[in-house]
């Protein structure tokens, strides 16, 4: 295995490690020799984004959220998970997700790469998910959810 590939694999595994292996659930971004960088995998930021962006309207975590889309509890995630595979799975369902977002939210959720990395980290962090509750959901998002949460 080349040094760059070994470093990349090591960085991905570190970023996706189980919560007990990551002290603060926050792995800094890393720039590779190729000029690509791996964004910070911050599950705390991901918890906030999951609620504030509206993902919680259709998906649930820790029993909180909608039921129109798959449950995203960490216990159901592949470990280790390649974040690009997680994104590829989202891409395969993108047409349906966009339609549901327009129906449920009235808009399409926009995520940049750093935000997506944080949400992926949250989806794979059982310890951070245990902290997730209805209090995390902003009032405007909760209003869209009605009685479903």
Q: What is the mean pLDDT of residues 86-102?
A: 95
Q: pLDDT tens, 5-19?
A: 333 444 444 443 333
> 139 pLDDT exceeds 90?
yes
User: How many residues does the structure list for the chain?
Assistant: 149
The structural domains of the chain, with segments of one domain joined by +, span: 3-145
* The pLDDT of residue 33: 83
* Torsion sign over Cα 98, 104, 107, 108: negative
User: By CB neighbour count within 10 A (0-12 exposed, 13-18 middle, 19+ buried), where does 138 fall?
Assistant: middle
Q: pLDDT tens, 59-85?
A: 999 999 999 999 999 999 988 989 999
This prediction's pTM? 0.78
């Amino acid at each position: 295995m080349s040094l760059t590939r070994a470093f990349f694999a090591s960085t991905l595994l570190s970023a996706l490690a189980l919560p007990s292996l990551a002290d603060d659930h926050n792995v800094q971004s890393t720039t590779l020799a190729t000029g690509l960088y791996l964004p910070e995998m911050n599950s705390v930021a991901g918890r906030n984004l999951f609620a504030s962006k509206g993902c919680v309207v259709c998906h649930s975590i820790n029993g909180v959220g909608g039921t129109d889309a798959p449950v995203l509890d960490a216990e159901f995630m592949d470990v280790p998970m390649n974040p690009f595979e997680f994104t590829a799975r989202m891409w395969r369902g993108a047409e349906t997700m966009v339609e549901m977002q327009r129906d449920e939210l009235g808009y399409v959720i926009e995520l940049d790469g750093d935000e997506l990395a944080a949400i992926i980290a949250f989806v794979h962090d059982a310890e951070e998910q245990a902290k997730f509750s209805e209090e995390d959901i902003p009032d405007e998002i909760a209003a869209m959810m009605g009685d479903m949460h």
